[in-house]
Structure 1
Amino acid sequence: MSEHGGNVVETGQQLGIDPALLLDFSANINPLGLPERVRALIVSHLDIITHYPDVEYRHLHQALASANRCEYDQTIAGNGETELIYGLVRTLAPRSAMLLVPGFAEYRRALQQQGCQIIDYALSEQDGFQVDFALLDAVRTHRPDCLFIATPNNPTGLMPDAGLLDRLASLCEELHIALIVDEAFIDFLPQGSTLAPRLAGSRYLYLLRSLTKFFAIPGLRLGYLLSGNKETIHHLKRTREPWSVNAFSALVGQHLLSDEDYISRSHAYIARQRDVLLQAMARFPSLMVWKPEANFIFFRCLRQGFNLKAALLRHHILIRHCENYPGLDSAWYRIAVRTEAENRRFIEALTHVLHDADDGIFSNLLPPAG
């Protein structure tokens, strides 16, 4: 199995403690938690558990189409975004695919299951792990059947230049290359997706979305796919297993994207806490930190051979080790932006395990609470 964030049960068992005692910085979930609208919907509709969901998910698909200003038959909901990654790869059946490295592990696993040749396009630390226009030349040279790109990237949290994305979409359309854009964290960006307006006129653009991260419902498992290629969407709906989305997920998904108050509060709170956390981490000489646009922070520990994850676990804090991402090693980590109090606890533990408190420069890393 691939390693992912949020694996508190296994970690708790390994440590011999109740998983509830762990402070989880490894899963990139909205720190504001479950929207009250979701809680109220589930409580007031408990009886739907006694009925099968609509196998076509008509109301859910209509709500997703309306929220994204696209047509009903240009969207499909799934049991989390991951189901749609695997389903799309099976449907497209690419012989070759280009992946940006480092990147989310499930693209590679899905492609490998189909026997697809994988072309790695390495992002370098020297270039700040940011993709540039050289990617266009690589696409022209290799002519893959499909290209995966995450915006923002996971694990770096970086967004490619909007102009580059536009030219990339045009190039893939011209060369008949499926451009699969993972927008799992796009809801954390107030400006949203720059590629969505291209859907109506495209046959090769696919936008993957997750609702579990921004709306803090990972246990419900809900994502969706948008594409102007209606034939592909129709094929996905026709060939997948029935009832992959449960009744509660289908109900909740009809209302999430219209919760404007929760969305605006989340943007403001996460931006504020991310900036404070980033500034605090950047003051540690032992860390090299990348400024993200998502709700998580990517960084490298400069202490040779030091296992920061293990050290923080002694303080019951779980962070995401990035050594299983191709192109990275054991020095790389990722943490989520959490609440003010939780972020403060993380910085206090980090100060302790790196032994930098003796330097006297970390006494005021974070501003006063409140």
Structure 2
Amino acid sequence: MAQANQHGGNVLDMALASGVDEASIVDFSANINPLGMPPSLRRALAETWALAERYPDPLYRRLHARLAAHHGCPASWILAGNGATELIYDLAFLLRGKTVLLLSPGFAEYRLALEGMDCRIREYRLAEHDDFRPDPRLLAALGPGIDCLFLCTPNNPTGQLIEPDLMQAITLRCRELAITLVVDEAFMDFIPGGVSMIDSLSGLPAVFVLRSLTKFYAIPGLRLGYMVSSDGQAVARLRERRPPWTINAFAALAGEVVLDDADYQRDSRQWLQEQQAYLFTGLHALPALKVWRPAANFIFFRCLRPGLDLQGLLLRQGLLIRSCANYAGLSGEYYRVAIKDKADNRRLLDALRKVFAHG
């Protein structure tokens, strides 16, 4: 049932295609915090509807200053965008005509953005027998002729983190060969104590780190992401070519508010600690699945029953999971599910047991 170039969260499309009522579907296909947006942001939005009556600051100075303070870096290093996806396309502009190494499986928008800028794509296939983890062999693939490397940690859709020692070795290799390094950390906020490349950017001008506020703070309808790089000239160049007002006023406000909500951050990590273990244990207990241990708020698995359309069968029970058939290097046997609250996670496990019991 997977559709080409489909992302998670396409509930309406899937409902229309299958004849299921959209309102009845529980969406496991989009990796969004089930706690919903922070209460602090709800209050701020309710009190600032007048923002819709005037144009936002086209430079988003308050937003960039708040993000810079959060990471302890100059505001000139930061460029916010209408979700991290917009920034991927911005970076593709800088890489026009270059040769880029992509890890497969990986987020499909990298390829789409780069091909739109006539970049040449080389693939580094991650192997299932290595749990889809990059290892030191990746260093050998970073040779002459490679202009840029895209990494995602934790990787989407496999959920695997790149080990800090390997990340350091990759960074050194890229610096030695003047290879631009793009590190997508869209899910890093879900990982307590997660090691971010942002902390190491000083002196590394050819490194660009992507972050998203959409997933952790549950604001996919507002859309907000940002990029951090010590290459101030490159950031300024992208800022100058950006059309005005690509971030709406409420999304910009969200970026100014949510980073201070320590209670929400604590509650979110407590939820994830409990429900990540619960859902992983339940999925791992099903003999028909091969499940990879997650690092963030989603779980990647393979269905071992050949020819079983697991997405379609679960959709009949009102549950939408993400088919990974349209990821390079994967087939229709692979799926990704978001970790939700306990009631929804239990419902998913019960539905899977029912599917496998009935063959």
TM-score of the alignment, normalized to the shorter chain, above 0.5: yes
Q: Tell me how far apart the structure 2 counterparts of residues 99 and 280 of structure 1 sit (CA, whole Å).
A: 33
Q: Is the 8 A contact 1:102 1:123 kept in 2?
A: yes
Give yes or no for contact 1:156–1:290 (8 Å, CA) kept in 2.
yes
Match of 1:351 among 336, 350, 353: 353
Q: Tell which deviates more after alignment, 229-238 or 265-274.
A: 265-274
Residues of 1 paired with 2:300 and 2:225: CA distance?
Answer: 24
Q: What is the Cα deviation at residue 93 of structure 1?
A: 2.1
SS in structure 2 at match of 1:255: helix
Contact 1:67 1:258 in 2 (8 A): no
Matched AA of 1:24: D
Report what 2:8 is aligned to: 5
The percent of aligned pairs where both chains have the same amino acid is 46
Corresponding residue number in structure 2 for 1:88: 91
Aligned to 1:360: none
**CA displacement at 1:265 relative to structure 2:** 1.2
**Which of 182, 186, 189 is matched with 1:187 structurally?**
189
Would you say 1:157 and 2:154 are equivalent positions? no
1:106-140 deviations in whole A, cap 9, x for unaligned?
Answer: 00001111111101000000111111011111103
Q: Which moved more, 1:255-264 or 1:208-217?
A: 255-264
Moved over 6 A (4+): none
Residue equivalent to 1:237: 239
Note the 1:1-370 alignment, pairs <5 A.
2-140=5-143, 142-355=144-357
Give the conservation status (yes or no) of the 8 Å contact 1:309–1:318: yes
Residue number in structure 2 paired with 1:365: none
CA–CA distance in structure 2, aligned partners of residues 50 and 83 of structure 1 = 25
CA contact 2:20–2:316 (8 Å) conserved in 1: no
For 1:2 and 1:38, the matched residues in 2 are separated by 32
In structure 2, distance between residues paired with 1:34 and 1:86 = 26
2:112 maps to a residue whose letter is R
Measured after TM superposition, the shift of residue 143 of structure 1 is 3.8
Shift of 1:192: 2.8
RMSD across aligned positions (CA): 1.2
Structure 2 unmatched ranges of 5 or more: none
Q: Normalised by the size of structure 1, how large is the TM-score?
A: 0.94
Q: How many residues align?
A: 356
Q: Contact 1:173 / 1:203 at 8 angstroms: preserved in 2?
A: no
